[in-house]
Structure 1
Amino acid sequence: MQPIGIFDSGYGGLTVMKEIVKKLPQYDYMYLGDNARAPYGNRSFETVYRYTLQCVEWFFEQGCPLVILACNTASAKALRTIQQNDLARIAPENRVLGVIRPTTEIIGNFTRSRNIGILATNGTVQSGSYLIEIEKFFPDITVHQEACPMWVPIVENNEHQQPGADYFVKKHVDHILKAGAGIDTLLLACTHYPLLRDKIRQFLPEGITLVSQGEIVANSLADYLNRHSELENRCSKSGERMFYTTDSTEDFDNHASIFFGEPVRSNHMNLDNSIQLADHIY
């Protein structure tokens, strides 16, 4: 088997995988959540890069010719270095893609006022990746960013539908709308945030578009595979779904079904072996 690998620091990437599977059900997929070291949002560039590279190498060892970093923090802090510095050394025929580029390529199509807001983790905001990439494709757009550090813990503790989440959601929505007069589009630049969509919508004025990444990434992947037949032909197609976590499988399965929309049965990935491999490399 040569499945398409989908990586996230925890559960959030399952919202992207859900849309990818819906769009491209014929392929085999292997998901890995690095739950033992989550969250990535507040970690340094070097740490996120090191953790992400370890997991990408693990995917390659499993036979994955293509890995999707379905994590905004990993895409912001590790993707470019892996693409430019590591692929040629570890697997020059393989590819690693992220979620930021597909989103920024089309985000300008959603806004009329040319003012958009980015709701993200601290790590993604600090990286400036969205500012840089949007400038490339839509230099006329003004971008405002807001870090929402409590949103991931709220979702992962299954509190996203509870009244207690209202304060933290309203706080950041109000703040970014106040900072960016004229915003008519808000991007949920974290794969956990779609689960807060209904809560966020409660505190938004009419006329503001709320954009999630799952469908955008799925459409972009379909286009990429169509344009790269040499890679597409290496991806196995039997409709298999495999799930791995670096932490408790029982805990992962209980949470993962909320993100993926159907029951999940995961396997444990031995992180210690990967750390030893990485220590040897570095």
Structure 2
Amino acid sequence: MNKPGPIGIFDSGYGGLTVFKEIIKELPQYNYIYLGDNARIPYGTRSFETVYQYTWQCVQAMFELGCPLVVLACNTASAKALKSIQTINLPELSDNRRVLGVIRPTTERIGEFTKSRHVGILATPGTVLSNSYEIEIKRFFPDIKVFQEACPIWVSLVESNEINSSGAAYFVKKHIDQLLEKSPKIDTILLACTHYPLLYPLIRKFTPPSIQILQQGEIVSKSLSKYLEHHQDIDQKLKKESEILFYTTESPEVFNEKAGLFFGQEVNSTHLSL
């Protein structure tokens, strides 16, 4: 790991691409490797141990590809695996490699957006079950009340490109209504899954205009920028030639076809066996 390397961006599948494209906008000068573990999706319904095992395997693969820094652009992996990787695995390595997630950057800023101090979280069942958002928000803002709603169908709607279907409209409205029933004071809703930005038009349609809806991409990208400013030792390990490589544990043809929907432009990937 002596030579400068790329920033690794990891996701269980495609959703992390919505965060990745914002990171590239904010920090276009760096080299990047994106890895989607599409062969083993979904992560959201799997156990903590399985998500940890899968995530750590993928992080190790990205280290082997030369990444000194890996960002888990996946809420489920951040909720179920990040702490174990940071406290158990990384201290065993001889060099100073880092793994970051998407939950902390979001939760440490949530207080800037809510006035009522009632915040809604829309997420996968796994992320809700972990209670990571409520724990982290309470750490930074003890006065904020957090209301969570698990949306088990939403990821499948996005990945099957059914975002404009009547079924999508039904399930989006259903879960927003259920969330808002938990507190009429909610003034801020966080989309705590990287797939959900593709459902944003529907989410906005069924959410009162007075409620603001936060997407993670811009928040996480600005947080990463600040992190690298404050950690020059890590920044010096990063290659800056604006090169981007994509890897998937699935078929590259399948990945490329779907990835463009999330990334906003054509993607050419390579298969990676784990």
TM-score after normalising by structure 2: 0.98
1:198 maps onto 2:212 in alignment: no
Question: Which deviations, in whole Å up to 9, do the C-alpha atoms of 1:211-254 show, x marking residues without a partner?
Answer: 00000000000000000111101100100010000001111001
Identity %: 62
What SS class does the counterpart of residue 158 from structure 1 fall into?
A: coil
Between Structure 1 and Structure 2, how many residues are aligned? 271
1:150 maps onto 2:150 in alignment: no
Question: Which deviations, in whole Å up to 9, do the C-alpha atoms of 1:135-186 show, x marking residues without a partner?
Answer: 0111101100000000000000011122321010000000000112210100
* RMSD value, Cα: 0.8
Deviation at 1:74, TM superposition (A): 0.3
CA distance in 1 between counterparts of 2:249 and 2:218 reads 27
Partner residue, 1:60: 63
Deviation at 1:108, TM superposition (A): 1.1
Q: Which amino acid aligns with 2:198?
A: L
CA distance in 2 between counterparts of 1:142 and 1:157 reads 34
CA distance in 1 between counterparts of 2:206 and 2:91 reads 47
Deviation at 1:59, TM superposition (A): 0.6
* Gap runs ≥5 in structure 1: 272-282
Distance 1:90 1:257, change over 3 A: same
1:184 maps onto 2:187 in alignment: yes
1:235 is matched with which residue: 201, 225, 238? 238
Q: Which amino acid aligns with 2:10?
A: F
Deviation at 1:205, TM superposition (A): 1.1
Deviation at 1:91, TM superposition (A): 5.0
Partner residue, 1:135: 138
CA distance in 2 between counterparts of 1:13 and 1:89 reads 27
Deviation at 1:207, TM superposition (A): 0.5
CA distance in 2 between counterparts of 1:230 and 1:10 reads 30
Q: Which amino acid aligns with 2:28?
A: P
TM-score after normalising by structure 1: 0.95
User: After TM superposition, what 4+ stretches of structure 1 lie above 2 angstroms from structure 2?
Assistant: 161-164
* Gap runs ≥5 in structure 2: none
